[in-house]
Structure 1
Amino acid sequence: MKTKTRFLIYPLLIIGVFLVFASSCEKEKEKEKEEEKEDIGSFTDTRDGNIYKTVKIGNQIWMAENLRYLPSVVGPETYSFTIPYYYVYGYNGTDVNAAKKTANYTTYGVLYNWTAACSSCPSGWHLPTDAEWTELTDYLGGDSVAGGKLKETDTTHWKSPNTGATNETGFTALPGGSLINNGTFFHIGIGAHWWSATENSANYAWSRDMSSSNSVLYNWYEFKRGGFSVRCVKD
């Protein structure tokens, strides 16, 4: 009788262990799904109503779109090392509403000189320092591959070949080009350029750049009077 009872108990124990394990796995899957949901979100800028996708990469939360904050606008022939100026690629005028109606504003956002960039992010967010860009780069495996992991895939916006682009981070880097020092808009479709909050010298600040031709995230210093995109990081 004891042997028979033992034979009945063992299968029940095995079934019980299996059910507990299965339940544990289901809870773990649910937890993973919740964590995935937390990785991608959105933020509304109360200054102008713009809504931005956000993404968590490592321990940082980034805007997954270029900043579109545009309190004023000037043409490319106007520039300064110290006065904040705002530009929209290809637009040569001073009408904010007209600039906001352009396709480049909608897709690529605003180009800022460094002084404007430093105060452009909304409350609760800030222009990333060089160290914060480096933290992002290191988390993604180094500068030789980080660009590819951040770039939007395909060639809708990036010109071919858009080498190494996977966008596995959800950062969706777009080639918004820049305003270079001679007052020329340059590099749209080919290059992405963002300011950091870290100065290199009186006239230069550190930036991050990437190209359609490789998967590198470059660390350069640039003239502060140039116009670059901005990606904000959460405080």
Structure 2
Amino acid sequence: MPISFIVFVLIGFIIVAVGAYRLGAHFSHAAKREQPEEKNSIPYDKCVAGNTSKFQYGSLTDARDGETYRTIRIGNQVWMAENLRFHAEGSFAPNNHEENVKVHGRLYTWNSALGLPDEPPEDSTASHLDMTKQIREKNYQGIAPEGWHIPSNKEWETLMAQLKSSDEDLRSGCFWRKPGRDSLGFFALPAGYRFGNGSFLHFGDRTRFWSKDEYCGRSNAYRFGITEESMDIEGIYRSDAISVRCIQNS
């Protein structure tokens, strides 16, 4: 076999090998870029300890189950600084894992959060009007502990008015993929939510809290939402399950 042919084959092999290496490196680098950012890994206890050293937290014990919560005064309001963990009918563990409840609380449908039956009674029109009247009363308790209630849109708006800059002032410094500043001690955690069809979404990068206010009829209600980029108050299906933060009666 001519030496020139052998040299030609070897050169061709080297070219192919180098090309394959570069192509593999390119895809490896692209894959690394496309990987989602890792969730912030500050331990929960350390994160709480950091907040406790900065803010004057109060304490609330729910007489129904003995659960204890931190509370925080923000302006003229006193909020729970943790998500409600009370085990009620129509509530779920975040991301469908019970071990998440200790940190993130439970997720509730709107009816569950307001202590209402899932199925409307036979005289639904009259009952709905009566229910609406009760809900509109000040300090509507729902499943909140005694002396506390489910916040209204107006109360969420009052909280938003206290923010120094953006949603970062409410997001905790742990568990979010993009940690917040939590400059008010509210300690919002990314518990995600559960759709009415049973799917769990956005654990680690979003959270939503119920408002007691109805939205566009009997199938929707308002919620206060926080993402890693924004916050807003919008209507969603009542069958969705999201977090509950209670506010002290005034």
Cα shift at 1:186: 0.7
Q: Is the CA contact 2:95–2:193 (under 8 Å) kept in the aligned structure 1?
A: no
Aligned-partner residue type, residue 227 of structure 2? S
Q: Which amino acid aligns with 1:90?
A: N
Deviation at 1:40, TM superposition (A): 1.8
Of 159, 171, 184, which residue of structure 2 is paired with 1:151?
171
Please name the residue that 1:88 is paired with.
Answer: 93
Match of residue 81 from structure 2? 64
Following the alignment from structure 2 to structure 1, what is the Cα–Cα distance between the partners of residues 63 and 110? 23
Deviation readout 1:120-142 (Å, 9 max, x if unpaired): 1011000000110001111225x
Q: How many residues align?
A: 169
Give deviations 1:176-200, integer Å, cap 9, x for gaps. Answer: 0000133201110010110000011
Is the counterpart of residue 218 in structure 1 residue 235 in structure 2? no
Query: What's the TM-score, normalizing by structure 1?
Result: 0.68
Letter in 1 for 2:175: H
Correspondence list, 1:117-196, <5 A: 117-118=113-114, 119-141=142-164, 145-153=165-173, 156-159=174-177, 161-162=178-179, 165-196=180-211
2:83 alignment partner, SS class = coil
The change in CA–CA distance for 1:146 and 1:60 in structure 2 (over 3 A counts) is farther
Alignment of 1:24-103 (within 5 A): 39-72=56-89, 85-91=90-96, 102-103=98-99
Q: Which has the larger radius of gyration?
A: 2
TM-score (norm 2): 0.64
CA deviations 1:154-185 (Å, max 9, x no partner) are: xx4111x34xx211111100000000133201
Alignment-mate amino acid for residue 66 of structure 1? N
Q: 1:39 to 1:56 in 2, by over 3 A?
A: farther
Q: Using a 3 Å threshold, how does the CA distance of structure 1 residues 207 and 71 change in structure 2: closer, same or farther? A: closer
What are structure 2's unaligned runs of at least 5 residues?
Answer: 1-52, 115-141
List gaps (5 residues or longer) in structure 1: 1-35, 73-84, 92-98
Task: State the alpha-carbon separation in 2 of the partners of residues 105 and 226 from structure 1.
Answer: 17
* 1:105 alignment partner in structure 2: 101
Deviation at 1:203, TM superposition (A): 1.0
Q: Partner residue of 2:12?
A: none
Q: Is the partner of 1:134 in helix, strand or coil?
A: helix
Secondary structure (helix, strand or coil) at the match of 1:90 reads helix
